[in-house]
Amino acid sequence: MKFRSVSNPVTSVPPRVTPPKRISMRLAEWLLDSPRLGDSPSVKHLAGRLLKQPAREGVVAAQSRLGQLMCRECGNARDRRIGHDLLRQAARAGDDRARRALGEIQD
């Protein structure tokens, strides 16, 4: 007796569901903009981790916020350089906040 190779929906592995990147962006922005939470180093670290992937994918707002965070909060030169590069990319894409932050850094 031959068995057909029909996929059984009960035993098949469901496709991985990736959360929308907008949620991580909105959560990171909310954390950074919150007056009480935004001052905590651990919250800034979490927000940076949430912004990293959208910034890598070219989301201008994520590049701008992560660049500002890295330039202001990171102690080592490598992270500040990466933050500066992110701000430069966001400014080239037309983000006014990134342009102002670049102006403040270079002054």
pLDDT band at 12 (very low <50, low <70, confident <90, very high): low
Q: How far is CA 84 from CA 36, 43, 60, 67, in A?
A: 27, 21, 14, 6
**Contact partners, residue 51, CB within 8 Å, separation at least 6:** 24, 25, 28, 62, 65, 66, 69
> Does the global pTM surpass 0.85?
no
Is the pLDDT score of 13 beyond 80?
no
Domain range list for the chain: 21-106
Q: What is the pLDDT of residue 75?
A: 80
Query: Cβ neighbours of residue 13 under 8 Å, at least 6 residues apart?
Result: none
Q: How far apart are CA 47 and CA 58, in angstroms?
A: 17
